Structure formats: structure tokens, C-alpha cells
Amino acid sequence: MRKLKKATALLLCLLMTFSLAACGGGTTKETGGTGENAENGGAQADSGSTGILTETGTYPIVKEPIELTLFCVSMPNVEDFATNDFTKFLEEKTGIKINFETGSRDDWETKLNLAFSTGDYPDMIMFASPSQAKYGVKEGILLQLDDLIEANMPNYMANMGEYIDATRQTDGHIYAICGLNECYHCMYAKKMWVNTYWLDRMGIDVPTTTDEFYDACKKFLEINPTGIAVGGAKDGWHARFEEWMTNAFILSPSKSQDYRVEVGLAPEGKIRTIANTDEYKEALKYMNSLYKLGAIYDGDFTQTEEQLRALANQEGEPVLFLPCGTISNHFDADNNNETYRHYQVMAPIAGPDGTRRATYMKYAGLGEGDFFVTDKCKYPEAALRWIDYFFTTEGALSSQYGAEEGTDWVLNPEGKKGLNGEPAMYEVLNPYSGEAQNHDWQDVQVKYFPAEFRLGESTDQNVDVGTSLGLEKLLYDATKEKMEPYAQKEGDWDVLPYLKLTDEEATKIQTIGVEVENYIEENKVAFITGRKDFDKDWDSYVKGFDNVGLPTLLEVYQTAYDRQSSK
């Protein structure tokens, strides 16, 4: 098998992110479905399905119908995968009937791990991400896909080839098919929205500095003492005000791996946490001043995003500043349009030394792993040819919006322009719905949405951005104007990509990561609320990182980063 081409654009991604250097793979052999090939570097595919396949890249995929089982995450806006219109379309197109096993967003991981432990797991896994280090590299339950990809996935190779080397695991092999969803505004999702209605009432402009932000909060509370100056939540899509506010002092890299340990790549090129730096200390001091003012209340640290939404929509309790990736998370543009229109994205504010950053999460597009084939699968080639359809324009549109061209979507609409102002690639006629439906899979699929695809959706250039139809344009324009100019620059702190850990490394830091996260969170709140004193308690806080294992955590991350950087 020839080496898969490395793309210059993805070298940086290879250093740090996501999930598929030299080729792996080898001779195929039968596997028994219990991971017994793990000692040989992982399970490899049984080639027994080749006789039933049609020519690569044609449909149907198989000469005679077959059935495969698929585990995926259920979503409230998809009624029943088994009877879904897109499911029926796909079965007719490919000749493969899918038997679904599902888990909810709350319990899918537990269900999947239980299935692995009992040996009763499906042929394929989609929209759920098992540990590749454990179930692939170590136990051999997930198939090595190296040779199979090139032989059976022409669309994946054509459209994702430059990304493939960046998705190899620590043993050099590929265990997952990864999607691509290059959402421009999502890469700058640490946004703060300001209520311009209240700014107008106070006669002030949108704050541009920490001092102006403080003054706006002070004036707001003077004329509206029952209001909330700064909203926030402990969870949700960037609903934590601290992340946005920290960027006025030092880049907030957010979390690495699954832990919110504020780890990033320091200017000297080493992996560090910002949580023990002088700049972070100054950020907490500033937030403490806002807390003393009454601009930040205790509920910001404990409430869920749903509770914040309810609070923001409570009549007579206005919120001046709201952190979130999109204002539609808090307000319904159709049912509460007046309030929805009041909010606009703020550019980052500048701190005392001029620091003014918008965290650019540049590795957020490539998936860690979106589709897996297990060693139970009798037809791995067929499984990969089935998923390969999703890496076509037709497959991407059909899975998301429905498979009826001309009814659900149309290609190259004449005279229409995309979100970026260029000629539109397609027009959606059956828009995404948050309500339960049974026509398409919505977000439950392997996405192939490169930047040109997402920005190429037909968009009315004069659409009212204060309506639900104008949301994507609202987010695009706001990101372009107010966020992108303040992205981290070369020589600044930077975000980390997804670091591929060995199973031993992941196990080593599993508990440590949680303890470090809790330590940072608890002390952050203690300093902001004044329960801890900066003069008396800061030094002991910094020293305390040794006790919770931060050095070990950083050492593991550094090893993984260096390993990926050397390839």
C-alpha cells in the first residue's frame, strides 16, 4: 500500500489534533470477534465479503442484500432510524439493511462499554467515539482500516486524503473514519453577547476595554438593581463567562482532551496550564472586582445552560452580557424576537496591557473518530463502502436534509450566493428542524462539511439577521468582523489539538485529569468570590498543583505532543 499523502495544511493538525505516517496494515486474516488479535497490534479484516461486492464506487454495493448492525446515538429530533425515510433510501441504494442499536446522549458511553465487556457488540459504530487506544490498539476489537480505506472508499480518499495521516493512532494504524465539519463561527465560539437595548438606555457604547466593561456593569446595576449584569453557566456551549473574560489577560485555551484544565501551548513551545500564571491571576482579580460590584452572582458557577436560558427569558429580569456560542441557545428568534434582536456579538475587550484575544479553535473541524468497524463484522469492505457514500455532496445533503433532490435540496441554484458571497453550491429546501421528524438523520451521521460546503449554502444576502432564517449569516458576519481579527498570533499562547494517548497514558491520567480540573474550578470560584485572598492564598494554590498531579498530566501531554510532532 502506498503512503498516504501528507498535506502541508494538515501538518499542524498532525502535531496536535484529532484522530487517522507510514502505512500500516498487513495480510488480512480472520478474526473471532473477541479481540484475540490485540497482541498482534489490533484486529485486521476478514476478506470474506469481497465475493459479494459490486465494483468499487458503484451502487448497489452488494450483489445480494445483506444486513449489518449499527450502534449510534439517538437524538430527540429523529423519531425512528429503522423507519426513517433516509434509512429506506440508503437501503435501496446500497443493498444493505441496517439494524440499529442506540444509546441516548446521556447513556451511550455506558451502553457501548458494557457491550464491549460482554462481547455483545455490533458490526459498526457511528456518532459515538469509543477509546481507540483501548478497544483498537490494545484489545483489537476495532478493526485496523489501513488497507481497506484505499481499496473501498474512493470518495473518502478523494475528499479526505490530506487529513488521513493525521488520524493515525499511536501504533501508526487507522481505526476510525473521521468526518469533517469546518464550521467557521464554531471555531470562534467563545463569544459574549451584549444587550444593546440596555446600552442605548444607558447611553453608552459597546465596551472595548475591561474598564469600560466594569463601568457598563456598574451603570446597569444602578438603574436596574434586580437585573443580572453578567450571565453564565457551568455547562453548555461556551456559556462560561470566565473563558471569554480571561482572554483580556491571557489566551483561554479551554480544555484539552476531556478535562477543563486550561492547558495550551505556551510561547516557548511547551505544554503548560495558564491556571498558575501571573496573567491568569490578574484575570481572576478582575473578575473578583466584578463580583464585589454585584455583576457576577453565585448562580453563574452552578446553574446549567437550560437554567440560564430560563433566567434570561424571565420577564423583568434582564441580562446585560450573555456568553454563548450562538444567541439562539438562549432566545427563540420566532417566539421572542424582540429580545433576540437586542443582543449582538461583542468584540473581545482589551485588558490593562492591551491583551485582546478571541480563542481560535483551529482544530475543531476534523472529528476524533466518527465511524468504526468491529471484528464482529463479516463484511468490513461493504461497511466501508456504505459509509463512503456520506463523503459525497449528495450523501452529505441527503443524510442531513433528506434524499429527494428538488424537494429537499437543489445543487448550483442559479443566481444564488453562498454565505461567503460566492456562487452558491446548493440550496436547502427542507431546513434543519429541532422538532421530531422521520425524514432524515439530521446530525446523526458522519459529516463531510468542509469550509467551502458550509459557506456555499445559498443565503439571501439581504436576509434579516434578526430572524431565525438569518442566524447563519448573523454568526458568519459577527465572527468575521468581531472575532477573527483577534485570533491568537504566532508566538502567543495557542490551543492544543486532540492528543492521541496510548491506553496506558490515558489510564495514568484519568483520575489525575479530573482532580486537576476540580482543583482549578474550585479555586477559581474561591478567588473570584473572595473566599480566598490573592495575597495570602495564591502561592499555596500554585504549589498545590503538585499534590493533585499536574506535573504528571503535563508530562503525559508533552510526550504525546512530541510523539505526534516527530512524525
SS3 assignment for 180-197: EECCCHHHHCCCEEEEHH
Cα 327 from Cα 319, distance rounded (Å): 13
Cα 80 from Cα 440, distance rounded (Å): 10
pLDDT of residue 48: 56
Domain ranges of the chain: 49-180+367-450, 190-360+492-566
pLDDT digits (tens, 9 = 90+) for 376-398: 999 999 999 999 999 999 999 99
HSE (side-chain half, CA atoms, 13 Å) at 519: 22
pLDDT of residue 9: 35
Domain 190-360+492-566 belongs in CATH node 3.30.70.260? no
Which parts of the chain have pLDDT scores under 70? 1-50, 255-260, 567
Provide Rg for the chain, Cα atoms.
Answer: 25
| CB 528 within 8 Å of CB 469 | no
pTM: 0.80
In whole angstroms, how far apart are CA 486 and each of 251, 348, 350, 355, 411? 11, 7, 10, 10, 35
Beta strand segments in 46-177, E: 66-73, 96-103, 124-126
The hierarchical CATH code for the domain 49-180+367-450 is: 3.40.190.10
Cα 237 from Cα 188, distance rounded (Å): 11
The answer to whether the 49-180+367-450 and 190-360+492-566 domains have the same CATH topology is: yes
Cα 454 from Cα 472, distance rounded (Å): 10
pLDDT of residue 431: 83
pLDDT of residue 46: 55
Q: Provide φ and ψ at 414, rounded to 5°.
A: -65, 130
